[in-house]
Structure 1
Amino acid sequence: MAYDEQLANQVRELLSDREDVTEKEMFSGICFMVDHKMCICVSGTELLCRIGSAKVGVELENGNCRNMMNNGRIMKDYVYVEDTAIDNLKKLKYWVDLCLEFNPMAKLSKKKG
């Protein structure tokens, strides 16, 4: 699984003050689960951010991300953020904060059993 280790470490550092973070390999990268819910992933050199549909609309208008597609369907709460939109810690923190802001409202995925 090839993903930007430095970017993953930066995300890890920004989440280090929380006790409810776990890591899981998925989406061809590493996902940071907060309160057992997918919050933010590092996939290649990009971030997959779960920010909620309202913020997705705003951020798409800003032109610094794109929709996440799954089997031809837009995943309404998620966006991919390119490396140029997270090329410094302040920009990265902005996206991490958006993900953390939405996390309490995010639905918990059903366990596969």
Structure 2
Amino acid sequence: MAYDTELADRIRGVLIGTADFTEKKMFGGLAFLVGGNMAVSASGNGGMLLRADPAASDELCATPGVERAVMRGKAMDGWLRVADEVIDSEDGLRHWVRVGVAYAGSLPPK
């Protein structure tokens, strides 16, 4: 499945003005990086792939429609799948993009 180009455009719109943001095709989607670190991605599996503080995974996954991403058969702390219905509204999208940007921005630049 190809990533949702409309979602990618919406994410890009939220990120306009963010320092040191770039785009890169990865994980079957279009990833948005801050300082070379992935923040969010328009996922090829639908919805958004989000990078967040691993210690906050339980709290973030308490939101309906947000769950740990499964990679190579393992649920990963700090890598979350955000369902389309969670980010349908602009406020919802902005909130979750900010979560990813905050975490990516806290990491050393690559």
The two structures have a TM-score, normalised by structure 1, of 0.86
1:17 correspondence with 2:17: yes
Post-superposition shift, 1:5? 0.9
1:104 correspondence with 2:70: no
Measure the CA separation in 2 of the matches of 1:83 and 1:58: 19
Aligned-residue identity in percent:
29
Deviation string 1:9-32 (CA, Å, 9 cap, x unpaired) is 010011110230111101111000
Residues 107 and 75 of structure 1, relative CA distance in 2, 3 Å threshold: farther
1:26 correspondence with 2:26: yes
Measure the CA separation in 2 of the matches of 1:32 and 1:69: 20
Deviation string 1:35-79 (CA, Å, 9 cap, x unpaired) is 011111001331000011232211212222111111122221110
Measure the CA separation in 1 of the matches of 2:106 and 2:65: 23
Q: Which runs of 5+ in 2 are unaligned?
A: none
Residue of structure 2 in register with 1:38 after alignment: 38
The two structures have a TM-score, normalised by structure 2, of 0.88
Measure the CA separation in 1 of the matches of 2:93 and 2:56: 16
Measure the CA separation in 1 of the matches of 2:15 and 2:76: 24
Q: Name the count of aligned residue pairs.
A: 109
User: Which deviates more, 98-107 or 76-85?
Assistant: 98-107
Note the 1:19-98 alignment, pairs <5 A: 19-44=19-44, 45-98=46-99
Residue of structure 1 in register with 2:6 after alignment: 6
Please provide the CA RMSD for this pair.
Answer: 1.7
Conservation of the 8 A alpha-carbon contact between 2:39 and 2:101: yes
Post-superposition shift, 1:107? 5.9
User: Which deviates more, 74-83 or 63-72?
Assistant: 63-72
